[in-house]
């Protein structure tokens, strides 16, 4: 079964405006064959993602919701 959400940030890959050339990750998380954030601290990743969403003009309530969703992404499962 094909996963249609980014395994790092949970964004639907169908909404990905870029080209990550990955079936698992969106172009925000994965670029040129590597992760844009290479650490393994989900909280740090969430903070960066939230800031990005706000910068793109997203409603803070939606941004908070999407940030919360990141915690369920396969990449961060221990």
**Distance between CA atoms of 55 and 44, rounded to whole angstroms?**
17
Which lies closer to Zn ion via its Cβ, residue 60 or residue 74?
A: 74
Least distance (Å) between residue 16 CB and Zn ion: 8
Least distance (Å) between residue 6 CB and Zn ion: 3
Which lies closer to Zn ion via its Cβ, residue 12 or residue 60?
A: 12
Q: What residues line the site for Zn ion (CB under 5 A)?
A: 6, 8-9, 11, 26, 28-29
For the record, the structure tokens of 70 come out as 């990141």
Least distance (Å) between residue 55 CB and Zn ion: 16
**Cβ contacts of 58 within 8 Å, gap of 6 or more:** 66
Which lies closer to Zn ion via its Cβ, residue 28 or residue 76?
A: 28
**Distance between CA atoms of 72 and 78, rounded to whole angstroms?**
11
Yes or no: say if 48 and 38 are a contact pair by the CB < 8 Å rule: no
């Amino acid at each position: 079964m094909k996963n249609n959400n980014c395994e790092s940030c949970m964004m639907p890959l169908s909404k990905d405006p870029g080209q990550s050339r990955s079936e698992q990750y969106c172009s925000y998380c994965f670029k040129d064959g590597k992760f844009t954030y290479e650490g393994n601290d989900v909280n740090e990743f969430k903070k960066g993602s939230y800031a990005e969403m706000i910068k793109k003009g997203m409603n803070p309530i939606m941004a908070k919701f999407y940030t919360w969703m990141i915690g369920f992404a396969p990449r961060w499962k221990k």
